[in-house]
Amino acid sequence: MEFTAEQIASFLNGEIIGNPKVVINKLNKIEEGEQGGLSFLSNPKYNHFLYNTDASIVIVNKNFEPEKEVKATLIKVDDAYAAFATVLHTYEKTRQNLKTGISKLAHIDPTANIGKNVYIGEFVYIGANTIIGDNVRIYPQAYIGDSVKVGESTFIHPGVKIMHECIIGKECTLHAGAIIGSDGFGFAPQQDDDFRKVPQIGNVVLEDRVDIGANTTVDRATMGSTIIHRGVKLDNLVQIAHNVEIGENTVMASMCGVSGSTKIGKNCMFGGQVGIAGHLKIADGVKLAAMSGVAASILKPNSVEMGAPSFGHKPFLLSYVYFRKLPELASRIKNLEKEIKLINK
């Protein structure tokens, strides 16, 4: 890989400040920049690295103005982070050796329908009446059950399990160890204090361009479908329970858990370890800080909440000021009580 600043700026529709002929052949973080490296700067917290970096080219936001001389050639774009993501995507494509063909060690049921230009690796299992779209990549030791549909250009990484009758859209990515369509957690209490399993006869539907992180689980519905809408991104170790519905382009960081039958709107953002109780409604655009515990529906769009149980982030921050002072306040109350007793004697 070797590109000039001129080529990169043309690709990103950016403005060059510096030498348009400078060449890069590697990608670096700005704090680890090297000669011949391409970096980016979008977070002001890292501004100071720009003045010392050895990176040859740095992508910056259009409104960024250096405070002093910069050695690197700058490429100004509307959104430096998004632009660098585009560069990374292109770089990944250039270095990927996309495999094709079907391994002799894979098991494919004779009734399965396999598309064109697919890759099916060693020890993959594909069940009866399953449909695999064109350009799908299925890496070794993946399991795809009966009557599953996988849309074109989807990547299924090693060890993924897609259980029977689930539907996977186009251009999805399922990372290693993800499980789609395991049984929902449904048990009916009995008179003898035992629990009887409730059969989970629904499925899971992933719409197009959904990303499922490593070891994330999405449970099948008791009846109907657990639905993950278009563009949703779930990090590693996320748990989505039965009959949950997640709106378009919502993102969840690692270790979030969503209980059964909760409906989440589109364009929401949840930090790590957020927990949401069952049968709730979360409006569009809601943001939840890490480790928030949601016990009631959030019906106001674009709300920002934190804490457990969660509430508005501004009231939470004000409350936290007092929480940190509780030992001091408790001591003052005890002293006041002693003074009152002395006055009343």
Catalytic residues: 242
Note the Cα 93 to chain centre separation in Å. 21
Please give the structure tokens belonging to residue 314: 């501004």
Is residue 83 within 8 A of residue 14, CB to CB? The reply is yes
Who contacts 160 (Cβ-Cβ below 8 Å, separation ≥6)?
Answer: 139, 142, 143, 174, 175, 176, 177, 178, 179, 180
DSSP 35: T
How many residues can be counted in the chain? 345
Residue 267 CB coordination number (10 Å): 16
DSSP 104: T
Identify whether 309 is preceded by a cis peptide bond (ω within 30 of 0): yes
C-alpha distances (whole Å) from 28 to each of 35, 64, 84, 131 are 10, 20, 11, 41
DSSP letter string, 264-328: E-TT-EE-TT-EE-TT-EE-TT-EE-TT-EE-S-B-STT-EEETTTTEEHHHHHHHHHHHHTHHH
